[in-house]
Structure formats: structure tokens, C-alpha cells
Amino acid sequence: MNCLRKAFIVSAIFWLCACTTISPGRTYHAQVISQESSNATANTYSSIQAAIDAAPDGAAEPYRIYIAAGDYYEKLTITKPHIQLVGAGKDKTRVYFDAYAGQEYTAGKTWGTRGSATIIVQAEDVQFHHLTIENSFDFLATDRLYKNDPKKISGAQAVALHLREGSDRVLVRDVKLLGYQDTLFVDAGRAWFDNTSIAGNVDFIFGAGNALFTDSDVITRKRGQQHYPHGYITAPSTQISSPYGLTFINCRLLREAGVPDNSTALGRPWHPTKDFPDGRYADPDAIGKSVFINTMMDAHITQDGWYSMGGTAREGGRKQFIPEDARFFEYQSYGEGAKVNPARRQLDEHQVKSYIRKNVLGDWNP
């Protein structure tokens, strides 16, 4: 089959998907086309996960799943390489689920932060285009309650997208990622988020992975009641051996109505508690890295920019990890929230030259 013919099939199937009416909780059809061979054909499936499961093991070429406009209540896991989920538009196709860390999914077992995600990726060369991925857990309802209220939920972390061990070379383009606490968990491999909107309020972009964000909107959402700090945009746990962590270039830090001025930190250093031969304590090698380059910052960003974070001390109890011991930097931030002071360290013109896509992403050129 020649390239012109193959392109026609892809276009036609996408058109069919876009015209399908979808209702949450009912059977719907995700149109799939595999370009692995010249005999590409279209198949329909009763769920997105079924379409993912039908993909070949160890594929070397893209396996595209076109998803019609509508709301899809599913919790997805991707363990096969080269899966591509393509929606009808980020304001038209929505994949959502409402799991949270403290929720029991079976007797005596809770999701935990790592298991709460609407979509979990554990494979290489996965892509997402033209859709919304949301964790719709009602964080605000529990956030409105005081700590001693018996109705307050313990474990309100609720991830939308989790890139976990086994993931690498993940591309997210023209996508909305929606949640509140812990929206995006980038904990492994390399990922590129381009022309994407990410919304949340507490540590909502976090993890040990190497993630590049370009031309994207990062939106701080409101809280159920007043807090200070209101929230934290990043909480990197980058290993000291990794030269790159969470890198933002030409992005915009925006806010919802109700988010106060001077209330939201650019980030805080996360040292996850792990098991070591001499005990269980905060990982001393998790020297988090967040860098903002040519990024617009609204007035909700705090004047000091960065904040401390607690962790488990080696000798027991708690200790504070201060931002000065992490790798937090800016270069040419602008807007009402942009400040230059000793607390907000700046890259110089020589240092910033290393933050180009081919350096950050290495040999991956999507």
C-alpha cells in the first residue's frame, strides 16, 4: 500500500470517530489503526483498554488508537511500546477516573499515590495527542474540611498521568492534564510535554524523571480553604546522577480565580522515603532539579520562589530539606511573579546554553 493510500485510511477513520456520540458508563467504540504493516485495517473495541490490549507485543512502529469525542470513564495501563492515543481534540475527548491514594480498591488495600493514576505508562515510545487526561476525584470537598473533621479523607493524592518505571521517550502534545494534588507524576525516563496545559495545586508536577515542558500552560488551581503556601508547582526527586529533571522553556505559569498573589512556590525538594541497608529514611541522593527558562509568571508566584519540604531523617523523626540544597534555577523569567533575589538563583548566559532539546532529551528526537 502506498503512502497516499495509507494517509487516506487514517484520515477517514478519524472522521468516523469524531462523529460518534459517547455517553459515560455505556459501551462505546475506540477506532484503531495499526501502521505496523502495509495491510493496515481498522478495528473497533468496546473500551480504550481493550484497544491497548489488542496491540502487538514488542511493536517497532506506532500503533495508533483514535478516540472519538466524548467522556471515557476508564483507568488505563500501558505496558506495550509505541502505543499512541489520539483524541478528537483536547476539549472534545476526555479520559477520566476518580481514584485517590487513600481509597480501597480491594479489601485492606489502597491505591496509594502510585496506583491512583487515571493513566499509568510502563512502556517506551508512548504518545498522547489531542485529548484531556483527568483525575476527577473531588479534592476540593475534602480540602474544605478541617484536619479533625472525621469526614476528611486521608490520602487525597490523585494522579492523572503517571510515567513509572519502564517508561521512556513519552511524548505528550496538545493535551490537557487535570487534577489537584499530584496531577502529573513523572518518575522515570524521558518525556516531552509540548503545547500542553497542566493544572493542579499541591506538588502537581513531581517525580524523578527527566521531563521537558515547552510552550505549555501550568495552571495553579484553587483550594478548598485558605492555605499558605497555597501550593507548589513542582516537587522533583531527581537523582543527583541525572543532569536534568523538570525543565520548563517558554511556558506560562497561570492561575485560576481565587488563587492569591504571592502564594504559590515554584517548587520544593522531595526526598522520597526508601529502604536502605541501614534503615528507612529520605533518599539523600534525590537532589531535585527544576529549571524555568523564559517563562511567564503571574503574581501568584511567591517572592522567594522556592520552599522547604519535610522528610524522614536517618536517625528517625523528621527533618527539613531546604531549597538551597536542591538544583532550583531560573533564567529570564518575566511577569508579575518574576523576581531576582538571593533566594531565586539564576542561570548565566553560558549555563543556559546547555538547556536545549537535544541535550535534555539525548538521542531521542521525536
Q: Active-site residues: which are they?
A: 182, 203
The distance between the two most distant Cα atoms of the chain, rounded to a whole number of Å, is 66
Half-sphere exposure of 105 (CA within 13 A, CB side): 12
Strand partners, 329: 291
* 18: three-class secondary structure by DSSP: helix
d(CA 15, CA 19): 7
The three cell numbers locating residue 293: 527558562
CA torsion sign, 311 to 115 to 240 to 305?
negative
d(CA 10, CA 164): 30
The neighbour count for residue 108, using CB atoms within 10 Å, is: 5
- Report CA dihedral (87, 89, 92, 96) to the nearest 10 degrees: 50
CA torsion sign, 347 to 348 to 351 to 354?
positive
Q: Are 186 and 215 in contact (CB under 8 A)?
A: no
Single-letter code of the amino acid located at 253: L
Q: Are 210 and 242 in contact (CB under 8 A)?
A: yes
Cis peptide before 62 (omega within 30 of 0): no
Q: Are 366 and 169 in contact (CB under 8 A)?
A: yes
DSSP β-ladder status, 42-45 and 30-34: antiparallel
* 141: three-class secondary structure by DSSP: helix
d(CA 17, CA 67): 6
Strand partners, 318: 312
- Count, in order, helices (H) and strands (E) of the chain: 5, 30
